[in-house]
Structure formats: structure tokens, C-alpha cells
């Protein structure tokens, strides 16, 4: 059984083809890296996998279940979580509150207009445990506006991990981070157990290559190279399209 299968996924915006017959097959526990130059269609692919965009053709399966037509919220209930290239959090709320809101999205309490979030101790405990995993438990009550960019990246990862995902999609988790912050996030990701399958978009090749089991190179919406780290780095198309050689 595969954790995540994408088969011949296609998407166009008007006359612009942004995803063309993309296929991926992620094994349970695999660390898959998606690379490619700007405009290659990497984030669009994530949006298709999570249901934020509707594919024109092709299908997506999560642990052998066809989720192609399922809305985003139902994919989350089946064990899919993601982070975003552009951080979108609530700066005036505390770190813990941001993570608790992520948990609320998977709870039946979201339909109860009389439920007071501050009284949901079980959600608060889960949120703080997720923050502990990313090394932010000691500042859980700090307003997000008083945190660094690197800490906000970790908050977003905590929000995804709090949902206990089976498949975790990370959209450039190292973007904008300092060298020290990159090392912190790298250790965080390496500590995620192998019962979670991770698919990651990343430009920082030095960090990402050490993380990946297999790599897919996108170019103008197509997978043009795929394989192990050694195979992809050695491929002339990788050097031509991505490394600029």
C-alpha cells in the first residue's frame, strides 16, 4: 500500500497549463522532496493534492482511498496536513491559541457556537504537546506578534503535527530562515517518526538533500527527473534546469 499516489494530475488556468500529467507514488514513511525552479508548479501541485484546487484530470489516493473529489476538510480528517509557503497565522493571538485553532478544525466542537475555546482543556493540552515537539512550549503563551520568523515557521509545523497526520506536506519550511534556524527546523523534521510520510517542497538543496529518500524535479508543471538523491543530482537534466550548469 502506498501512502500517497498522484496519477496523471493536470491543471490549467485558462490557456496556461501549470500541471501536466504529474505522477507521484509515496511509500509509507517516505521522505519525498519536490524541487524545481520558480514557476515549476510545486505549490500548485500541493494545492491539488490537498483539494484547495480542483484538478482538470487525474486522481489522488491517500492510503488507497480515492480523495480526488473530497473537499479539503475531509482530507484533513483522513490524515493529511500541510504548511504553507506564506505564513498565515493570527499575530494578536498567543502561540498556543493558534495551535488550538488548528485542532478545533478537526473537532466536532467547531459546529458548536456556544463552546468556549478557553474551556476545552483537552485541545489546549494537545496544542502544548505539539509545541513541545517543536521546542516552543516555554513560550506557548506569548503573542505570535512577539515571535521571530523562525519561531513562526515552527508554530506552523506544530499546527500541522497537532493534527496527528499520516501524510504531511511541507511547503518550503526553511524559507527565510537564518542558518541557525534552519538547523533547528532540520532537527525538528528529522525527529518526526517514520509513521508519518513527508512530502516537502524546498529550495535549500544543502539541507533538503540530506532529508530526502527520493526526489522529484518539476519543470513547467511536469516531473522530468525522479529517483534517489544520487540519481537526481547526477542527471544532466537536473544540472541544466535546476542547478544552472
Q: Is 177 within 8 Å of 150 (Cβ atoms)? A: yes
Across 210-225, average pLDDT: 92
Q: Does domain 1-79+165-245 have CATH number 3.40.50.80?
A: no
Q: How far is the C-alpha of 200 from the C-alpha of 18, rounded, in Å? A: 19
Q: State the Cα angle at 10 between 4 and 229, rounded to 5°.
A: 50
pLDDT at 116 over 80: no
Delimit the domains of the chain by residue range: 1-79+165-245, 88-164
113 phi, psi to nearest 5 deg: -70, -15
Q: Kindly report the pTM of this predicted structure.
A: 0.90
Q: Can you list the positions of beta strands (E) in 121-235?
A: 167-171, 197-201, 214-219, 222-228
pLDDT digits (tens, 9 = 90+) for 49-73: 999 999 999 999 999 999 999 999 8
In this prediction, residue 138 has a pLDDT band, given cuts at 50, 70 and 90, of very high
Q: How far is the C-alpha of 172 from the C-alpha of 186, rounded, in Å? A: 12
In this prediction, residue 112 has a pLDDT band, given cuts at 50, 70 and 90, of very low
Q: How far is the C-alpha of 158 from the C-alpha of 130, rounded, in Å? A: 5
Amino acid at each position: 500500500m502506498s501512502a500517497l499516489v498522484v496519477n496523471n494530475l493536470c491543471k490549467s488556468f485558462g490557456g496556461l497549463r501549470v500541471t501536466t500529467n504529474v505522477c507521484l507514488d509515496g511509500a509509507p514513511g517516505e521522505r519525498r522532496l519536490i524541487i524545481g525552479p520558480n514557476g515549476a508548479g510545486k505549490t500548485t501541485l500541493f494545492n491539488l493534492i490537498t483539494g484547495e484546487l480542483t484538478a482538470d484530470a487525474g486522481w489522488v489516493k491517500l492510503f488507497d482511498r480515492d480523495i480526488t473529489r473530497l473537499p479539503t476538510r475531509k482530507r484533513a480528517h483522513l490524515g493529511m496536513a500541510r504548511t504553507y509557503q506564506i505564513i498565515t497565522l493570527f499575530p494578536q493571538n498567543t502561540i498556543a491559541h493558534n495551535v488550538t485553532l488548528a485542532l478545533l478544525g478537526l473537532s466536532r466542537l467547531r459546529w458548536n457556537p456556544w463552546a468556549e475555546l478557553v474551556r476545552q482543556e483537552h485541545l489546549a493540552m494537545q496544542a502544548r504537546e505539539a509545541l513541545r515537539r517543536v521546542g516552543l512550549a516555554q513560550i506557548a503563551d506569548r503573542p505570535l506578534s512577539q515571535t521571530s520568523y523562525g519561531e513562526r515557521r515552527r508554530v506552523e509545523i506544530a499546527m500541522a503535527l497537532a493534527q496527528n497526520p499520516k501524510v504531511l506536506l511541507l511547503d518550503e519550511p526553511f524559507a527565510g530562515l537564518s542558518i541557525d534556524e534552519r538547523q533547528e527546523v532540520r532537527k525538528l523534521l528529522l525527529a518526526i517518526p517514520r509513521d508519518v510520510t513527508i512530502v516537502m517542497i524546498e529550495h535549500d538543496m544543502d539541507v533538503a538533500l540530506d532529508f530526502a529518500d527520493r526526489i522529484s524535479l518539476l519543470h513547467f508543471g511536469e516531473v522530468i527527473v525522479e529517483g534517489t538523491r544520487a540519481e537526481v543530482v547526477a542527471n544532466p537534466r537536473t544540472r541544466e534546469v535546476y542547478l544552472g550548469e
